[in-house]
Chains A and B, each alone.
Chain A
């Protein structure tokens, strides 16, 4: 059953068409990956789906309801949340508090009750605290629970961001490069964790540069290049698609050319 459907989504920044006419769909328990070279528009696409950017064109449907232009906190209430490519951690709060904030929707009560610390708020706080600890244990961060989040390593913060998103029991989870900057062991761990989440019925949208990881865990892959969808399908279909290969090889070639030029310049310089 289709959980999330994206139709003809597009946005421009000044003259730049960062994303143009992109559509795809994702079902519960499915991992849909969005891949493409740097600057292809993957993060921008995520920003539009999650309500952070307002798209110029197109629609986002969640459970058959049109949620285009909904604010992120409303989408969160409907079960959609995300993580960020550039970490967005509550730096000055403890690791545990970061996850507890993820439970905001479950915990929040009346403002007056919070100001007066009425008994109901304490009970809810204690429950949420326990659940947050359980989530931290799942990603081996329970020992760091009382530390200020800003002190954690990059890899640990990546995991913290994922469990903070999980705290709100999402039905759709957008992960923007969850394994970026992580070592091989950590990547494998995150990889297994994401598969586990999908198995519980969460629909997952994933942006990831680690192709081995993408090919292994995705059910469906959408390929972007210069803001356009150039291919989509199962992992093996996509990896054989000539356009996809050229988009990727294209960037490799370009980088190689640049490198060669640099080398040449240096060489002439040395001679001169």
Chain B
């Protein structure tokens, strides 16, 4: 059993999620924790797209936007239960990803980056401008999931923060489990193979276009579910969720933590979610310090935090 084995990684994650609350000085930290898990979820999706399959997206916040607004609009406009609206959002994101992925995944490198960027901007513009439906940039309220009341009914009383910490933590564990399953499966190996050499992957029978599309659709569903969870816990959503900055943030988290590593990406999400909270003490220097940290990590640990540290430890062990 190496550190990389699936169950060890899942156990580490589970242990962290279970133990960390012991150190929380106040209930507020459950909220921060839940936010970390939501961010980590969409970043794990990007690990599949970028780390496994070697394709870039600068528009994944678009899918988060679809997931988030599905939970806002589904109950209001269609009378759906929020949980069902979340599934609908994931389905719509998957279909959108399949439709736009087909033509744009033929592009490579920065051409693909620009095309996905365009998609993200498009979603964000629609959410901002379709005021009659989305109430525009002021955002809209999101219905209550209702599960917490149900739990209270059966005798499990949780604060809102605790509840969302638990739900997002569980969803993240499922997301990580799926991503790790994929890594060592036939499809996952096909993704990693085409990342290494597209032409060689094709000559052993891999349908490169199809496998890229699968990676794109899967990662879109991750982002969509993350967006849904975000809107459901905040009970409010604005078009910023689909904005360019959010897309960039996702990619930055993935790259910072280690884009080839599911746990690394989770770490990246944790750091970039926490850092601004910690740095509020430094007020005006916050952005500066954030930028500096990122530059330093990329210079000294170019493969991302976790893989670089793991490699260093392994090197010392031998």
Contacts and interface: CB of A to CB of B under 8 A. Distances in A.
Interface stretch (A108-116, A195-203, A218-226, A249-257): A108-116
B93 to A, nearest CB: 16
B208 interface: yes
Contacts of B160: none
A111 B204 contact: no
A105 B71 CA distance: 40
A271 interface: no
B204 A76 contact: yes
Nearest to A76: B205
A76 B197 contact: no
Interface in A52-93: 52, 71-73, 75-77, 81-82, 84, 88-93
Given A93-B189, A108-B186, A125-B184, 14 more contacts: A82-B203, A89-B200, A90-B192, A90-B195, A90-B196, A92-B195, A93-B192, A111-B187, A117-B181, A121-B186, A124-B186, A125-B185, A165-B203, A165-B204
A138 interface: no
A116 B187 contact: no
A104 B182 contact: no
A67 to B, nearest CB: 14
A72 B202 contact: yes
Contacts of A92: 192, 195-196, 260
Given A81-B204, A111-B214, A115-B178, A90 B193 contact: yes
Contacts of A88: 197, 199-200
A32 B194 CA distance: 30
Contact of B202 (A76, A93, A164, A168): A76
Interface centre among A51, A84, A117 (most CB of B within 10 A): A117
B138 interface: no
14 contacts: A76-B204, A81-B203, A81-B205, A88-B200, A90-B195, A90-B200, A92-B196, A92-B260, A101-B189, A101-B190, A104-B193, A105-B205, A115-B185, A125-B184
A88 B193 CA distance: 10
A75 B187 CA distance: 19
A50 interface: yes
Given A73-B202, A105-B205, A89 B186 contact: no
A25 to B, nearest CB: 21
Contact of B185 (A72, A82, A117): A117
A52 B201 CA distance: 12
Contacts, number: 104
B149 interface: no
Interface string A95-113: 0010011101101110100
A84 B186 CA distance: 23
User: Interface size class for chain A?
Assistant: 35 or more
A89 B196 CA distance: 7
A75 B207 CA distance: 11
A91 B192 CA distance: 10
Contacts of A82: 203
Interface centre among B181, B193, B200, B207 (most CB of A within 10 A): B200
Interface in B163-214: 178, 181-182, 184-190, 192-193, 195-197, 199-208, 214
A244 interface: no
Contacts of B204: 76, 81, 101-102, 104-105, 164-165, 167-168
Contacts of A93: 189, 192-193, 196
Contacts of B189: 93, 97, 100-101, 104
Contacts of B205: 73, 76-77, 81, 104-105, 168
Contacts of A164: 200, 204
Interface string A120-136: 01001100000000000
Contact of A91 (B184, B196, B201, B214): B196
Interface centre among B178, B205, B208 (most CB of A within 10 A): B205
A116 B178 contact: yes
